[in-house]
Amino acid sequence: MSLFKKIFSSQKKETLDKGLEKTKTSFFSKLGKAVAGKSKVDDDVLDNLEEVLVSSDVGVDTTLKIIQRIEARVASDKYVGTDELNAILRAEIAGLLSETNDNDDGDIQIPKDTKPYVIMVVGVNGVGKTTTIGKLAYRFKNQGLKVVLGAADTFRAAAIDQLQVWADRVDVPIVKQQMGSDPASVAFDTLSSAITQDADVVIIDTAGRLHNKVNLMNELTKVKRVMQKVVENTPHEVLLVLDGSTGQNAFEQAKQFTKATEVTALAITKLDGTAKGGVVIGISDQFKIPVKYIGVGEGIEDLQAFNKHEFVDSFFKK
C-alpha cells in the first residue's frame, strides 16, 4: 500500500471512529451496567444484554438471534466470564454482518462493460438522499468516471434545486425539468443524455414520500419501465437511503421501500450525530440487503464505503 493510501485509510478510520463515538459510548455504558457485579454470563446477564441491544436500536429479531448464539456458546463452554463478553459480542456481530455484506469494502463497483451504469436512489425526504447522491457523484468522479445526475424527484422544487447545487459543486451534468413534471420523463431524458455523453454512471433521484405506498410503488415501477426503453435491465442498483439517527423508524422505512421496489443496496446516513448506530447491524441482518455506504460526518468525503471489519473495530474500540 502506498504512503498516500495509508494516510487516507488512516484518516478514513479516524473519521469512522469519531462518527461512531456516541453509539459506542452509549452502548458500553449500558453494557457496563448490565454486567456490574457479575463474573459469569448467566441468565440475568443475558436478559440485561438483550435489553441493552434492543435499546441500542439493534432491533428485536436481530437481538434475539445474537442472544441465542451467545446462549449456545455458553452452553457448550459451560463457563463464560463477563470479561469475555465483549469478544463474543464482537465475533457474533461481525458474523451477522458477514452474512449480508460479502465484500470487505461496500463501494458499488461500476463494471467497465456496462455503460451507463444506472443507480436509482430512493428514500423519504429528510434522510439525506440528495446529499448522498452528491457525495456519491464526487466519489465516482474521483475514480475517473463520468457521472450524470437525474432530478426525477419532481414533487418538490427544493429537491431539484438541491441536486443542482450538488451538480455545480461536484461539476457534473444534471438533467432536470420543471417541478410537477413526470419523473419517468426525467429519467428517460437522463439516460438518453448519458448515452450521448458516453457517461459511465447515472444517478437518478426519486420522490421521497411514503404517504401512499401504492402510489410510490406505481411511480417507481413506471420510472423503471421507462428507463428500460433506453437501457435494458435498468436500474442496475436501487440504493435506499436511511437516516440512522431515526432508529426504529429507519426499520419501518426499509420495510415500506422493500415492499414498493426491489432494493439492492443501503446507505445509512447521519451516524455521527446519534447513539443509534446499532441500526446498521439490525437493518443489514433483517432485510438481507448489503450496506454499501455510511454517513459519518458533514464533509464531502464523509460518506464512506461500508467496511464491516472497520465498522466492528470502531464499534468495539476502547
CATH number of the structural domain spanning residue 180 = 3.40.50.300
> Residue 110: inside a domain, yes or no?
no
56-to-19, 115, 196 alpha-carbon distances in Å: 16, 42, 48
The residue among 65, 97, 129 that closes a domain is: 97
Q: Please check whether residues 92 and 183 belong to one and the same domain.
A: no
**Which range marks the domain in which residue 238 is found?**
115-305
Residues 126, 268 within the same domain: yes
Report how far residue 270's alpha carbon sits from residue 304's, in angstroms, rounded to the nearest whole number.
12
Verify that 188 and 78 share a domain, yes or no: no
pLDDT in single tens digits along all 318 residues of the chain:
444 344 447 788 888 888 889 998 888 888 888 888 888 888 888 999 999 999 989 999 999 999 999 888 888 877 778 788 888 898 999 999 999 887 666 789 999 899 999 999 999 988 999 999 999 999 999 999 999 999 999 988 899 999 999 999 999 999 999 999 999 999 999 999 999 999 999 999 998 876 566 788 888 999 999 999 999 999 999 999 999 999 889 999 999 899 888 999 999 999 988 888 899 999 999 999 999 999 998 889 899 999 998 998 888 876
CA 35 to CA 141: how far, in whole Å?
48
- Asked whether residue 39 falls in the same domain as residue 137, the answer is no
Query: Are residue 139 and residue 286 in the same domain, yes or no?
Result: yes
> Residues 150, 84: one domain?
no
CA–CA dist 148, 83 (Å, integer): 52
Domain of 60: which CATH number? 1.20.120.140
Q: Tell me: do 127 and 68 sit in the same domain.
A: no
Q: Are residues 208 and 266 in the same domain?
A: yes
Query: In this structure, is residue 311 part of a structural domain?
Result: no
Does 310 reside within a domain? Answer: no
Is 228 in contact with 143 (CB distance < 8 Å)? no
Task: Read off the pTM.
Answer: 0.92
Residue 180 lies in a domain: yes
For residue 312, being part of any structural domain is answered with: no
Q: What is the pLDDT of residue 85?
A: 85
Give me the number of domains the chain comprises.
Answer: 2
104 within domain boundaries: no
Tell me how far apart the alpha carbons of residues 280 and 19 are, in angstroms, rounded to a whole number. Answer: 13
273 belongs to a structural domain: yes
